Amino acid sequence: MIEVGLTHFLVISAALFSFGIYGVVTRKNAVMVLMGVELILNAANINFVAFARYGNFGLNGQIMALFIIILAAAEAAIALAIVLNIYKTFAHVNIDEIDNLKE
């Protein structure tokens, strides 16, 4: 096997991104869709950190990864609040059966 370089990390991130998309598209439960979104964000993060190491960008890529983690935290909090509201209204969180936000 060849020595581990930039391409290896990019391939891993591409695979994680695809898994994330698959999860977002196929899962019925809203919380599972959120997990898919987390996978996608992590795949993007791996790209940022990999280019920060192998490119000539200093630490800017790592700082961008840090900001993405912060945004993911905010996104998870808001999304779960919305999911809780959906559960209060419909008594389930199957996103294929939900067609409005209020009763």
Partner 1 sequence: MNVYDIIFYLFAAITLASGFLVVTVKNIVHSAFYLLFTLFGIAGIYVLLGADFIAIVQLLVYVGGILILLLFGVMLTNKITDVDIKTGTLHIVPAVIGVGIFWGAITSILTSTHWKSLPAENIEPTTAQIGTLLITDYVLVFELLGILLLIALIGAATIARRDKE
Paired strand residues for 94: 29
Query: What minimum distance in Å lies between the beta carbon of 99 and partner 1?
Result: 15
For partner 1, which residue of 89, 94, 102, 103 counts as binding (CB under 8 A)?
Answer: 94
Closest approach of Cβ 40 to partner 1, in Å? 11
Residues 17-76 that bind partner 1 (CB under 8 A): 17-23, 25-32, 34-36, 38-39, 42, 45-46, 49-50, 52-56, 59-60, 62-63, 65-67, 69-76
Shortest separation between residue 18's beta carbon and partner 1, angstroms = 4
Does 101 engage in binding with partner 1 (CB under 8 A)? no
In angstroms, the CA 77 to CA 90 distance is: 20
Give the torsion sign (CA, 19, 20, 26, 32). Answer: positive
Dihedral sign from CA coordinates of 101, 95, 99, 73: positive
Token pair 């059966």 in the structure block, residue: 97
